[in-house]
Structure 1
Amino acid sequence: MPDARANDIGLIRNTFLEGLAHVLAHDLRFKGVLGMEIGGSVGRGEADPLSDIDLFMYVTAIEFDTYCGGFAFELLECAGPVRRRRGPSFAPLIGWGYTVDYGEIGLVQLFVRSDAALRPSYLQRQGRILFERDGRLASTLAAAKAEALPSRSIAAAALSEIYFRLFNVTKELARGHTWQARKYHREIQEQLLVLARLASAKEPAGSYFRHSGRAMEQELPHEWRRAIEELDRQSTDQMGEPVVRATVALAARLQDALASQIDAPVDWSALEERILHRLATRLGPS
């Protein structure tokens, strides 16, 4: 019964999150944490039993290095028994990330950010506050999300989301969860649409958190619309390595088209090699 399982997982997640909020509020070791927001599908209330929990933790600038140095794991271990953990790893515009597997709860991804860098990532576009120390984080983040972003920032944010979600796609394919990989890929397609609109001078500043998703596709020039439609068809028909390669190729083309607006371009060749190696290693020889 999928619905019953979803309800069970929802209750387990809520218990975990309530416990984490309690630790933050009462354990003096973590007084440097100013607040935490739940992002992704859990924050939006759209999670399914396989969804990760994306957490964004804001700490004081003076303690940022301490938390990035491993103190974040100490916090996560207070919230429940950890099966596996990895990190820290850096995702552009998202922050230093830690991944913890809690078994039944699933994967929790914690990103540490300084109060000196409050600009939210796309994963937080409909997030909800789990904990705040002084009652100001929610209003500060809301103001940051409403702020008009220049196209340069929009392009960087979209590229960062594509980069991050490609690893999610690879992970789910390696697990054999094709439908979940397809779900993540649809999120990548939304970001490709943002880049295509920028490349076509159709994405106004400030629209990154408020764009209307796939409705934008009809306004694109034929070249980009056809490429994204073909990628959507491929991911629907046969989600796998060819789709990953085609996605990387399209992202690289869009990045080239936006070269003048991108300060730190992604090395797509290196990324493709890395994620395909990871996929081949997990799947084994065919």
Structure 2
Amino acid sequence: MLMEKTRTEVVGRFAPSPTGPLHFGSLVAAVGSYCLARCRNGRWLLRMEDLDTPRVVPGAADDILRTLESFGLQWDGPVVWQSRRGDAYAQALESLRSKGLVFDCGCSRKEVLASAPHQGEEGPVYPGTCRKGLAPGRVSRALRVRVPTQEVHCFIDGIFGRCEQRLADAVGDFVLRRADGVYAYQLAVVVDDAAAGVTQVVRGADLLGSTARQIYLQQCLGYSVPHYFHLPLALSADGEKISKRHGAVSVEQGADPSSMLCRVLRFLGQDLPSHCEKGTPREILEWATKHFDVRKTPATGQVVV
């Protein structure tokens, strides 16, 4: 199991993708990460994960920033934009390649699906087709990282407790740069968190399965491993994770910040006093950062009516 280093400063972050306005589920991640950083007098950073440019919606980033401000969520320092950090990702990739950990892969997604030995926890497991080199006549499409065949990655999540995953069984060698040249989320988030000195990653439980991959990359690159907290998912009436298609929470679309903040904090298991209902967003957040108790946060998703 990984040994945690002593840290003197908590640095949290919120990292939305500007593919549309904030929804209730993303607001849960924003408020949860904010409270867990601020309750330890820590810093709270903001990063726009706009790396997948075809999915970026024009104006969405500005809408997200306005919405966060309307909820009283103030971040420290300038906003970081992943789309401007290609050089940092390229350097990390070259560092991994110099250690013999990266290889060229000529397989299309369709071929991987067809040849995968089984479905892992995160989808089809890459069968290692190009691990020993490209077959004659094949050209490189993506870059993958070699994962250990036997090692089990263990970590203690602040909400889910002990978690473990054997990467070889769950995903196999995973992509770090896609066929279209875009750097993969797994690499970008690890490089960005390390560069910003992030010590605490608070996000939705749908990303719990990504954590072992990120810890593996952190180890390979010599980075510190943050503490992880995976918040319960907000579910729609049909049991699906709430997404942008279920409705936004931006003030422009009628959301009341104070009422919404109270809903979010109760969703996170906090015993909010009745007087908070009449408070301003700033007053509600002041109460939350003084009293937030992550031990009361449930690990199971909840339907949001």
TM-score (norm 2): 0.27
Flag the structure with higher helix content.
1
- Highest RCO, 1 vs 2 (Cα 8 Å, sep ≥ 6): 2
